[in-house]
């Protein structure tokens, strides 16, 4: 069964062939700004298993990053919902913004990254790996 999701206004919809195998939380300042929140929840998904079924996301090439990588950030041009990000050194994967999934009940972070810039009021669960920066 395919998993599905959409932006806030529904103009962009997508499906996944399989459930994400890797999930995490990014606390970098750029993800905070993009999400308008304290962090961004992510799921690594193979490009081959991700299908836009309606609409076309807009692209923002985010080159002002601490890692030095240009992050391709795809979002809905109508409602502004972030849909996914892509990294140049990982061409076979995308990082889906899990808040856009229709069913988020299975989400559990397997890691936290860029913890050095996390909001000071955010408490991280013990036992989940925490990286101060990107590895």
- pLDDT at 2 (0 to 100): 65
- pLDDT at 134 (0 to 100): 63
In contact, 118 and 29? CB cutoff 8 Å: no
Query: Order of strands, edge to edge, in the sheet holding 50-54?
Result: 3-6, 13-16, 50-54
- CATH code of the region 3-117: 2.170.150.70
- pLDDT at 132 (0 to 100): 85
pTM of the complete model: 0.88
Kindly provide the b/e burial profile for residues 89-109, where b requires at least 16 CB atoms within 10 angstroms of the residue's own CB. Answer: eeeebbbbbbbbbeeeeeeeb
Which two structure tokens, joined as six digits, stand for 103? 């069913």
**Per-position pLDDT tens, the chain of length 135:** 469 999 999 999 999 999 998 999 999 888 899 899 999 999 999 999 999 999 999 999 987 777 777 889 999 999 999 999 999 989 999 999 999 999 999 899 999 999 999 999 999 989 898 988 765
- pLDDT at 135 (0 to 100): 53
């Amino acid at each position: 069964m395919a998993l599905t999701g959409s932006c806030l206004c529904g103009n962009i919809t997508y499906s996944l062939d399989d459930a994400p195998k890797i999930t995490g939380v990014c606390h970098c300042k750029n993800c905070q700004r993009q999400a308008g929140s304290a962090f961004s929840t992510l799921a690594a998904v193979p490009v081959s298993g991700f299908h836009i079924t309606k609409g076309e996301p807009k692209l923002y090439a985010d080159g002002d990053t601490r890692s030095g990588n240009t992050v391709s950030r795809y979002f809905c041009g109508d409602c502004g919902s972030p849909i996914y990000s892509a990294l140049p050194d990982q061409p076979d994967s995308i990082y889906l913004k899990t808040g856009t999934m229709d069913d988020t009940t299975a989400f559990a972070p397997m890691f936290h990254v860029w913890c050095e810039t996390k909001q000071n009021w955010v408490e991280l669960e013990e036992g989940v790996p925490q990286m101060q920066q990107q590895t």
